[in-house]
Chains A and B, each alone.
Chain A
Amino acid sequence: MITFEAVTKRYPDGTVAVDALDLEVPAGKTVVLVGPSGCGKTTTLRMTNRLVEPTEGRITIDGKDIREQNPARLRRGIGYVIQQTGLFPHRTVEDNIATVPVLNGWRRQKARDRARELLATVGLDPALARRYPYQLSGGQQQRVGVARALAADPPVLLMDEPFSAVDPVVRASLQEELLALQHDLQKTILFVTHDIEEAIKVGDLVALFRPHGKIAQFDTPERLLGDPVDDYVAGFVGFDRGIRRLSFFRSQGLSLSTGPLLSADATVAKAQAAGEPWILVTDGGKPRGWIPADSLAARKSDTPLSQLDAEPFGHSFTVGTDSLRAALDAAVLSPAGQAVGVDGNGQAVGVATFDQLRAAIQAAERAADADADGSDNSKKRAAQPGVQRAQSGAQP
């Protein structure tokens, strides 16, 4: 656990970068510092490993004041990842990763073996071990940066805009992999970004900074989206926060209709008998496309549906595991205005209309509010260790 107690950083010219900051990073959790540039988020991060010394206040890691430790030793116990990667250009990938173990006095071969293990952990081919950084893509370099930070298995990781310099596709996959890694490793992570989307995606808790080093709101991502404390937070979070908040609501509470589902060998007559405005044709259980009911009248009643043109259904959502945001998006993109729900094997299990989605969203929000009221008042709640993202299992 990292604790900031009334930490202030004032520069000689009078600029206040961080102003009486109180913050707690619970053990095993990811806390994201987000805010506009110049808000003090990076300064806060750098004070944690003494790259910047605070003017006032106290920072402790697991109860120990960081000022009472030798800076070099302290830093070897804290992983550090930065945007520009800071990889050593003159060392091979494996020697870059082995940096801290070697500083800690490991034999080089043992450190290199560890480095190769870590390459696999961060999703890189161990054959890259002997390459130099200039021979890697930006995304690969960033993975090496993460591997290097993990090499000595430090309990704490500091990540300063680690994924800001790579393209959006690579960034998304790096974020996913960080979440997967964190699920396994349970590090205490302090993560800085200016991208609120990224903050909401990777953070267990998000500290949104105002300019000049004050925290505007420290909360779970879900509550930041659902219950911003003021206009500044609401503005920073963005106008579509209502939609984005749906990412935190699972879709298992959504009721589905099976009426429009018909297999490809069913006849036009059967489709007409269903009485639905749109028919979802399935093929071996998998969704194939939508047929509008008014196109049925022109065909002979014994024609199988497979001979009719079906409109593409956009994308489906996996019932239970995908969020209501994915379900809503599927409905928006569907020509029928209905989201196609599938099971883990891609078999269509039912469709959801906007009315059904609305009911599920309202139920999920009621459940989230009840959860928040039950656990403490809203803002203190976020400072407690063990707060999980709401896994809304809202039942209608």
Chain B
Amino acid sequence: MSWSWIPQNWSLIWQLTWENAKLGVLSALYGLIISLPLGIIAARWRWFYPPTLTVVSVVYAVPSLALWIALIPAFGLTDTTVIIGLTAFSLCVILPNVVAGLRAVPAPVTQAATAMGYGPTRRLVTVELPLAAPVIIGGLRVGVVSSISLASLGQLIGVSSLSYLFIDGLQRSFPTEIIVGLVAVIVLAVLCDLVLVVVRRLLTPWQPRRQVALAQWPGLQRAGLQRSGLRRRAA
């Protein structure tokens, strides 16, 4: 491990991390934007869900590199190619959570909303989606982490990302570079995950809190402690 290499190449590491973050986060966000309408349709018309899920799962089974290569003729060796591929993959984790979240809204709540005089659209936007938010964000977290991890392979088709450090380090037999790349990917994924945990907490002040005793320590520490519990609920 050659520690001095790190400060010397700080701007390179920073730039690759930023590129990698952009690819991963954008892909997951696009995945969410596509999953929401699909999930809403699937939650309302049950027959729509099984075939959709089959298509999404088949796409997910395609190796990422193969999918990118298939996209290159249309979009070239660009960010767009990587993002389209990763968006397609993220659907497989985000869409089921959108559907599960909407289906988990308690029937008495939707019934009460209808009986109170909500139309279907208003009910969806102001009651059902907010109540599905914790489960949807649970899916988004998995989507972001896996997209960031997969995006690091973008270098294979010449798109700048943290895998540059793996490839370069391997070619030069320089383990420090490989380790730095690995750590950067992990730190990036964990940070993005934590941001989503905080977002979820801000969006859902109405959820029962388990760690009430930690209330005097708002923020990251509490969010971090909650993660294991959330995983179990999202699964």
Contacts and interface: CB of A to CB of B under 8 A. Distances in A.
Given A88-B109, A89-B131, A76 B116 contact: yes
Contacts of B114: 51, 75
A103 B116 contact: yes
A82 B112 contact: yes
Given A80-B112, A84-B106, A90 B206 contact: yes
A90 B113 contact: no
A10 B204 CA distance: 42
A299 B132 CA distance: 79
Interface residues of A, number: 28
Interface string B174-210: 0000000000000000000000000000001111100
Contact of A90 (B115, B117, B130, B208): B130
B117 A86 contact: no
A49 interface: yes
Contacts of B63: none
B205 A86 contact: no
A86 B108 contact: yes
Contacts of B116: 75-76, 80, 99-100, 103, 148
Interface string B108-124: 11011111111100000
B206 A134 contact: yes
Interface string B198-235: 00000011111000000000000000000000000000
A86 B208 contact: no
A72 interface: yes
B111 A82 contact: yes
Contact of A86 (B112, B130, B131, B207): B112
A73 interface: yes
A91 interface: yes
A43 B70 CA distance: 56
Interface string A88-106: 1111100000011001000
B127 interface: yes
A132 interface: yes
A103 B117 contact: yes
Contact of A85 (B108, B206, B208): B108
Most chain A beta-carbon contacts within 10 A, residue among B111, B115, B127, B131: B115
Nearest to B110: A86
Contacts of B131: 88-90
Contacts of A87: 109, 112
A356 B75 CA distance: 100
Contact of B206 (A49, A89, A100, A158): A89
A148 B118 CA distance: 14
Contacts of A83: 108
Contacts of A90: 127, 130-131, 204, 206
A91 B115 contact: no
Interface in A52-85: 72-76, 78, 80, 82-85
20 contacts: A51-B115, A72-B119, A75-B114, A75-B116, A75-B117, A78-B115, A80-B112, A82-B111, A84-B108, A86-B106, A86-B108, A86-B111, A88-B109, A88-B127, A88-B131, A89-B206, A90-B127, A90-B206, A103-B117, A134-B208
Interface of B: 106, 108-109, 111-119, 127, 130-131, 204-208
Interface of A: 49, 51, 72-76, 78, 80, 82-92, 99-100, 103, 132-134, 148, 158
